[in-house]
Amino acid sequence: MDYLSKLNPQQREAAQHKDGPLLILAGAGSGKTSTMTRRIAWLVREEGISPYSIFAVTFTNKAAKEMRERVEELLGSEIRMWILTFHSACLRILRRHAEALGYDGGFVVYDPTDQKVVMRSLLKAMNLDDKKFTPVYVLSIISDCKEKDMTPSAFAAENESSPVGKVVGELYASYEKTLKKNGAMDFDDLICNTVRLFEGDGIILAQYQGRFRYIMVDEYQDTNYMQYRFIRLLAQNHGNICVVGDDDQCIYQWRGADIRNILEFEKDFKGTKVIKLEQNYRSSGNILDGAHSVISNNVGRKQKKLWTSKSRGEKITYYAAEDEKEEARYVAGEIKKLHGVESEDGSGVKAYSDFAVLYRTNAQSRNFEEAFSVFDIPYRVLGGLRYYDRKEVKDIIAYMRLVQNQADDLSFLRVINEPKRGMGAKTIERLETLAAERGVSMFLLLSDEEILNSLSAKAKASVKSMITAVLELSDERENLSVSDVYDALLLRTGYMRALEDQDSVEAESRIENLLEFKSVISQYEKDEPMISLSEFMERIALLADIDNHDAEEDAVTLMTLHSAKGLEFPVVFMPGMEDGLFPGWRAADTPGGMEEERRLCYVGMTRAMKKLYMIRARQRTLYGKTGFPAESPFMREIGEDCLDKSSTVYEKKKVFRAFPVANDGFASEEVFRPFARRYIEENDQENDQKDQAEESCFAIGDRVKHVKFGDGMVLETDEKTVTVMFGGAGRKKLAIGVAPLKKIQ
């Protein structure tokens, strides 16, 4: 097989680079995955490099799976090599060497939902106001510390003069102790602990340095400090490191990504060869030129410009809607108009899955969901409540974690009364105290016959049955399939029976979700027949939002611009092109903020293959406040020859603004911005009163949620009642002010 025949000259040059550091600057849609996979094939088949000594690392499971499948197409499925995400690779290493860090090899991985549960319990134990110290706020600081390799003691020393900092420092220390006690790590720990393992044990580090002689890193611009250290440690001896990335697509600095890693790669690895992939295979000429005219305004970037051999294509449509409602109706109308229409190049009819709406904030999605429902357009929101975050799925996962690790108090507390076992809050509190005194987990404490005998007869029988089931499955887990463990837990814990006994619409929905989870397990077992329970738990723990994107589902995709990274669509809509929304109002005040927002705009534009719409609203209500924002400065950066301005009022010299403008072209901080924190904080009381008044005020088309019936849409309303169509329960007429009904924002 000629592995390089389909590559262009620059791709071929990159694929044939063998030894020494290599930086591939790969623009959007420039075929970087093809280049990387064919380089692997060339190294193995033409240079005789063992696949065992090649390590390819990516950021998402989706990207890792795609790369793995392409390599197997080229080299055969029998070739086994590490093509993993950062977290998966570090988890695999830690499973083998956890003891060196004082962990058991069966440690569990806590996802963000689990982390919040831990933090809430710590806040309660310390009698702290969870509104002042919100779990999300505290956990974000802890995550930032771990990305900078700052320990709780170092954080406390740095913040000893700050009352808030001291409290957060105590929470950080308690959080770490809780995780260690539960035999758990969070996502940040997977990277941090692997780096600490390598730096603390030269023998283990040498083992992996000796094995991985050729390292390839995808999306290198998104690496943070600890990921950088991990890669540098592995490559520091042989220097055979190839990184692929695009500084113009670094959009995750807010979560630790350090653009300096790619901008200064040549300084870190002397003798680096730099190859630019600038030929784009995705987008038409007008889209590429428009995107370049925006990104070229950034100062902190390496010079390059994408080009394509494709035609100029359609110009970028720029539309100014009256408000956010009309904006959503316009998008829905355009989709209806284009759906089912033969493409100009004869490639077929446009399916709903060909369309994507990419917005700056999740709060923008509601209007599009409502409009699509009215227009009968199927859609899918990416980044909403994940399937794996649903209560019943989290419950059964907690049981599976206990089978894997009986030291996990978080999982134990989640399921000890799921289903009800007669364990009251005071009983659980006493057991928690006793377990802490004895230095054992609550599960192991209840395994003691003496402790079991102290419970009521009903609680004893129920708890003992659960404990026995978990222990027996744990002892036999190496001999059981994941499906066997799952089925046994549903039956032996009484979880499924309890749902069946409820005989309600909500219970039926939960049973369906549990059956769907069985389908998930079956698919994993089909792909990997020998997958173990611990391996399966790792797979689902490391899933990201983008991994939930199903390209086969015929529905319009709604997602944030950040979530769209790595995806492409024939038709893309970018609403909310307004100053204060995109770029966000914080951008001008944050070092590098405007440049990152501009990169985000560039990423959004280059998701479009054939048609791109950029839309603004002259008036917008967001977070309960109405304003008249100016158009986004990014729109004024796009070359006029790329824009179709026929469907909007667009005057470059006369831009309507509802408030004064500072010398830098952005709105003055002293005036009203509908998205400004200052305005929201000053009007908290007014917002609360308005929310309470609106709670019982419904309009036709409102999306609502009922405690029992779930989500629905308002069909009719009068002074006393509201008629709602629910997805599972059908049409219901409910009393306003009595029924537990809330609007979905």
Q: Higher confidence at residue 706 or residue 93? A: 93
Q: How confident is the model at residue 710 (pLDDT cuts 50, 70, 90)?
A: confident
d(CA 488, CA 486): 5
CB 279 within 8 A of CB 35: no
Q: How confident is the model at residue 347 (pLDDT cuts 50, 70, 90)?
A: low
Extract the runs of DSSP E, i.e. beta strands, from 482-576.
Answer: 556-560, 569-574
pLDDT tens profile 677-686 = 332 333 333 3
- Please provide the average confidence, as pLDDT, over all residues in the chain: 85
- pLDDT of 668 reads 33
Stretch 332-336: mean pLDDT: 94
d(CA 362, CA 672): 22
% the chain with pLDDT above 90:
55
pLDDT tens profile 518-566 = 878 888 888 888 888 988 888 877 765 455 555 567 899 999 999 898 8
- pLDDT of 685 reads 37
d(CA 58, CA 88): 10
| Residue 623, token pair as written in the block | 């977070």
% the chain with pLDDT above 70:
88
- pLDDT of 519 reads 79
- pLDDT of 665 reads 34
d(CA 113, CA 691): 27
- pLDDT of 547 reads 52
- pLDDT of 658 reads 35
Stretch 217-240: mean pLDDT: 94
Active site members:
32-33, 218-219, 249, 607
Residue 8, classified by CB atoms within 10 Å of its CB into exposed (0-12), middle (13-18) or buried (19+), is: middle
d(CA 571, CA 174): 49
Q: Higher confidence at residue 720 or residue 32? A: 32
Judged by average pLDDT, the poorest of 122-136, 401-415, 657-671 is 657-671
455 Rama sector, left if φ>0, alpha if ψ -120 to 50, beta otherwise: beta
- pLDDT of 575 reads 97
Torsion angle of alpha carbons 440, 444, 449, 451, nearest 10°?
50
Count other Cβ atoms within 10 Å, centred on residue 443: 22
Stretch 705-723: mean pLDDT: 80
- pLDDT of 52 reads 93
| pTM of this structure | 0.70
Judged against a pLDDT cut of 90, whether residue 579 lies above it is answered with yes
| Pairing mode, strands 214-217 and 54-58 | parallel
Judged against a pLDDT cut of 50, whether residue 287 lies above it is answered with yes
Q: Higher confidence at residue 674 or residue 348? A: 348
Q: Higher confidence at residue 708 or residue 584? A: 584
In the three-class reduction of DSSP (H, G, I as helix; E, B as strand; rest coil), residue 453 is classed as helix
Residue 273, classified by CB atoms within 10 Å of its CB into exposed (0-12), middle (13-18) or buried (19+), is: middle
Q: How confident is the model at residue 383 (pLDDT cuts 50, 70, 90)?
A: low
- Residue of 476, 492, 488, 554 lying closest to 518 (CA atoms): 488
Stretch 324-351: mean pLDDT: 84
Q: How confident is the model at residue 666 (pLDDT cuts 50, 70, 90)?
A: very low
Phi, psi of 7 (to 5 degrees): -95, 150
Q: How confident is the model at residue 624 (pLDDT cuts 50, 70, 90)?
A: low
Stretch 27-31: mean pLDDT: 92
